[in-house]
Amino acid sequence: MKMYFVAVVLPYALNEEIKVFKNLMFERWGCAVGLKSPAHITLVPPFWMDAALEKTFVRDLDESCKNIQPFTIATNNFSAFKPRTIFIKPVLDDPLKKLKNDVDTFCKTHTQYGAKPDTRPFHPHITIATRDLNKQAFAEAWTYFETKTFTASFEANGLAVLRHNTKIWEVIHTATFHV
């Protein structure tokens, strides 16, 4: 069994911009968790799956993504889930809501893989720092980030499948959206 999740992974150049913030969190506050995955918006939270199912999982996800059109995702500064997580906030518009709904439907109709929709309301975010951020460090870091601006936009062209290799999350496949 291996651990996976499904997300929209940001383009390389934007990931590199965001990595500057993740590195700052590591250097100033010792937060390393954010550095263990590329910048992304999670659509299916981590789940365990038999690695033997990986090929059919990505094949089925590829098929599902044929019905999804690429769209633009914009960001709107920083936000937080107090007192543990600091993130860049994507704009939750209709295309992103529809994508989340489509992915949830995929999970519900392909239960053999063990991927389940998140039971919490959808609150898209691009994590800068999370679980290893203590309350005191959070207060200091949030004072730094809460007044900063960060706006960018990018084309969402597919869904990435990430697999944990016991150290970091790696993109193992991208199911491409079709025009």
In angstroms, the CA 104 to CA 55 distance is: 20
What total number of domains does the chain contain?
A: 1
pLDDT for residue 160: 98
Rounded Cα distance between 158 and 103, Å, is: 11
> Can you give the pLDDT at residue 131?
87
| pLDDT tens digit sequence for 16-42 | 999 999 999 999 999 999 999 999 999
Domain that holds residue 80: 2-176
Closest by CA position to 163, among listed 18, 11, 44, 59: 44
**CA-closest candidate to residue 115, choices 128, 105, 129:** 105
| pLDDT for res 72 | 98
Q: Could you tell me if 99 and 157 are in contact, meaning their C-beta atoms sit under 8 angstroms apart? A: no
Using only the alpha carbons of the chain, give its radius of gyration: 16
SS3 40: strand
Residues of the chain with pLDDT under 50: none
Q: Which DSSP string do the residues of 92-137 spell out, in sequence order?
A: --HHHHHHHHHHHHHHHH-GGG-----SSPP---EEEE-TT--HHH
CATH number (domain holding residue 101): 3.90.1140.10
Contact 135, 15 (CB under 8 A): no
- Predicted pLDDT of residue 129: 96
* 164 beta partners: 169
Q: List the one residue out of 169, 156, 8, 147 whose CA is nearest residue 80.
A: 147
DSSP 50-96: -GGGHHHHHHHHHHHHTT---EEEEEEEEEEETTTEEEEEE---HHH
